[in-house]
Every structure is written in C-alpha cells, then in structure tokens.
Amino acid sequence: MTKSSKAIYKKGDAFSKLAKARGFRSRSALKLLEVQKKDNFIKPSSRILDLGSSPGGWSQVCLQIVGKKGFILSVDKKIMEPLKGVNYLNKELEKLKESDFENFDENILPFDVVLSDIAPNISGISERDDALMNSLLLGIRSCLDNFLKEDGNALCKVFHGESFDNMMIYMKTNFQKVKIRKPDSSRANSKETYILGMGKKK
C-alpha cells in the first residue's frame, strides 16, 4: 500500500468510526448528511423512496429529517433489519411496479424525493463495472420517470465513466438544476460520485 492510499484508508476508518459513534448503520449515512447540509434538498414531511437502502444508514438520516409527518419507503434486494418509522420492501428495483405502493395507509405516490445509493458488486474490471452500473441506472431512471413527482428532487450514485455521462444527460434533460457531489466521507480513491437533480421538469 502506498503512503497516499494508507492515508485515504485511515481517513475512511475515521468516518466509519464517526458513523458508528453517531448510531448510524453505515458510513454512507455521513455522505447523505453532507449533501443534505449543503443542498437542503430533503424537506421535513417529505415522502422519500430510498433505493438500495440496506443496511439502512440513509433511511436513518431521512427519518431524522422528515420526522413523523414524512414517509420513507426503503427498497433493497437484500434484507434490511427493521427500522422503526421506516417502511421496507424486499425487492429488486427493476421489478418495482405501481401496485407495490398501494398497500399503505396513505397514498404515497408520487414521491417528493428519490434516493439511490446502489452500486453493482465491483469486479475491478472497469468496463464490466461500468456496464453493470449502466444497466442499474436504467432501472433508476425508470423509477425517476414513474415515481418521482414533478418538481421533486433526486440523488443518485454513479461511477465516473460512461454511466456518469449517460446519467448526466438524463438528469440535465429532466431536472431544472443538476449538481455533482463528492462528499468528504466518500473515499477519494473511489470511483463513486453523486448526481443531485433538483426540480423535476414536467
């Protein structure tokens, strides 16, 4: 390990410890907190769809913001341990359909905010990882088209490369404002970055 990669891992560890100390289920929670602090794109009482939610760090952050008046639906193909105040669906995002949103006390469609922290299992082979990310983002775009309200906001994880370029085209076409975010708590040597879209167009 080189000196600079050692430093990056040390910093990553510090963020993991901080997330744990603050009671979050994942280090990722700190990334959402950072973006929220800067952009304030989740409002109290928002209805939120959290795609790729497990183990639940982002859902915990959402819960702190939206309180009892909001609504959170977390979706993951992996089991997520129950989180009081958060609804959970064990499903692949590509299989989500309108009827999945019907069995709740209130009418939850369309959502005010859609989040995606989804990434494929990384192989280290750039072309393969990018192709997998591209295909996941197709499913995410379909969720944004179908389940996010007009004027709603979205935050999506992407990798630098073709998937980033394709997602940027989609976001710029469909949102009034688009910002790129790389939180400090995201490892500097990781390919991940986040695209924030604010104000979904008609």
Ligand X SMILES: C[S@@+](CC[C@H](N)C(=O)[O-])C[C@H]1O[C@@H](n2cnc3c(N)ncnc32)[C@H](O)[C@@H]1O
Give the binding site for ligand X (CB under 6 A): 25-26, 28-29, 52-58, 75-78, 92-94, 117-119, 136
User: Looking at 10, 68, 157, 191, which residue is catalytic?
Assistant: 157
First to last CA, the chain: 49
Least distance to ligand X, CB of residue 55, Å: 5
Nearer to ligand X, 151 or 188 (CB): 188
C-alpha span between 138 and 145 (Å, rounded): 11
- Name the minimum Å distance from CB 92 to ligand X: 4
User: Which residue, 26 or 134, has its beta carbon nearer to ligand X?
Assistant: 26
Q: According to DSSP H, which parts of 22-98 are helical? A: 28-39, 57-66
Cα 75 to chain centroid, rounded: 11
What are 89's strand-pairing partners? Answer: 75
Least Å distance between CB 139 and ligand X? 6
Does the annotation mark 157 as catalytic?
yes
Comparing CB distances to ligand X, the nearer of 112 and 117 is: 117
Burial class (CB in 10 A: 0-12, 13-18, 19+), 164: buried
Give CA torsion, residues 35, 38, 43, 48, to 10 deg: -10
| Nearest distance, CB of residue 58 and ligand X, angstroms | 4
- Please say which residue, 49 or 178, places its beta carbon nearer to ligand X: 49
Write the single-letter amino acid at 171.
M
Q: Which residues are catalytic?
A: 157
